Structure 1
């Protein structure tokens, strides 16, 4: 394909075709995600996203829990790229983000016909109508959508741990006003590609709109998960950009303010009106 990057499967990687009936159809919207050890929330994630997309492709990064089994069992998962060897090296982890998503996009293009792709993480819940956005007039005016993401927080009266197979949407009451606009949705055009330095977002998307909202639960599944997250960023990401701030967050899972010392808000118009773009 002109303009694309050719990603090759490495030793330990293979493609699993799960629901082959999804491979022959033309799809309006498919989902793509890379996961590692997300068994706690994954079934709810796939059920939630599956209501809006026609098919899902996933990269399983050497999970040691039931993540791969859950992916294989779900009726909307068409393809899985699995990896048996997880790299702990900091630089390798940084490069892997873009490579894995690039390989997913390439694999989807080789085996599925689709107009749009939605790239999501397991701990995110986009609250708007993805299909409605694409099918409406907005999609004619743009080739990509930056979704407005807000972090959910555990607070003194709301810090019970998340339990498997519960609904994650609206699981926490309070959110920080810090807003990250992330390119999660884009039209399938050949100039849209991932490079190793791209990480979360692809390059080549020209006309980009900002719309829709997303609840992010990476900081609020449980106190134990918060501590594990702190340790993960300290061990596997550069210290100056990630490690230092996550070291300072250890032991501070319960919040009365956001991590940036701002008031917390309930999900809704007041949160959006006080949003601060990061």
Structure 2
């Protein structure tokens, strides 16, 4: 196990490093994005095009995808580096512990090969609204990390057409649950900030964290088929007590009249934000 900021992560035998746009390497960047992905070919083209308007470069960890995810990453001009893992870890606990190592490896590679002012840690089904680059430029030096207010989009009886890769995901759905999770997505490139094995998407070592901006999350609303696949995924690959039981109960319930927590749905905007229900965020 490594501690935050020590720089001890290593590429393993099952992993290979793929160079995307080599011209991005060694350049100084304002904002670099990092992500872990697996089988995201459906939404990845739009994700990368969305990122292209906000970030200077992308570094990704592909966790043994069986679709075209790696090829899509490699072809996009904003993707600088990909760590491609060829061996899917079937042990639930081992895979959970590995998340911190994966992100720690990406962060260290970015610091040495993609010098940057800010890091943006994202999932492919998330869309942060607003002018991210301008917002970060306006933050004072006393703020070293930023949490973003995330809301889940839902399918309803009137809005359940499946997502297709030729569409923009931003504003794809009409209704959102009021449950607000504050997710740490941005942090400055400071040596004290880093990941330890077992961490999720939140690094350690921040001293001053601000909460602002908003994020649309589409993990529950791409299509009815994707909803069912998500339920099965959590049942098969996550601890039953904390994830599996919850998602087992959600099978067959992709179309919503209220949120998964029984709260009224709202259109994106001030009405949603005014009715926000704070929720604990996974680390």
TM-score normalized by the length of structure 1: 0.97
Tell me what 1:230 maps to. Answer: 231
Q: How far apart, in 2, do the equivalents of 1:24 and 1:165 lie?
A: 33
Q: How far apart, in 1, do the equivalents of 2:69 and 2:129 lie?
A: 24
C-alpha change, 1:2 and 1:271, in structure 2 (3 Å) is: closer
Q: CA RMSD in A?
A: 1.3
Q: How far apart, in 2, do the equivalents of 1:64 and 1:161 lie?
A: 21
Q: Deviations over 1:62-108 (max 9, x none)?
A: 11111000000000000111100011211022112211111110111
Q: How far apart, in 2, do the equivalents of 1:21 and 1:86 lie?
A: 31
Q: How far apart, in 2, do the equivalents of 1:208 and 1:242 lie?
A: 28
Tell me what 2:46 maps to. Answer: 44
Q: How far apart, in 2, do the equivalents of 1:71 and 1:169 lie?
A: 20
C-alpha change, 1:42 and 1:225, in structure 2 (3 Å) is: same
C-alpha change, 1:70 and 1:2, in structure 2 (3 Å) is: closer
Q: Deviations over 1:159-180 (max 9, x none)?
A: 0100013100000000000000
3-state SS in 2 of match to 1:104:
helix
3-state SS in 2 of match to 1:171:
coil
The list of structure 1 runs, each at least 4 consecutive aligned residues, that deviate by more than 2 angstroms after superposition, is 138-141
Q: 1:2 deviation in Å? A: 9.1
Tell me what 1:169 maps to. Answer: 170
Tell me what 1:266 maps to. Answer: 267
CA contact (8 A) 1:5 1:195 kept: no
Instruction: Name structure 1 gaps, 5 residues minimum.
Output: none
Q: Deviations over 1:168-216 (max 9, x none)?
A: 0000000000000000000011111111221111011110000010000
C-alpha change, 1:14 and 1:35, in structure 2 (3 Å) is: same
Q: Deviations over 1:19-63 (max 9, x none)?
A: 111113110110001100000000100000111100000011111
Aligned residue pairs, count: 277
Q: How far apart, in 2, do the equivalents of 1:147 and 1:13 lie?
A: 31
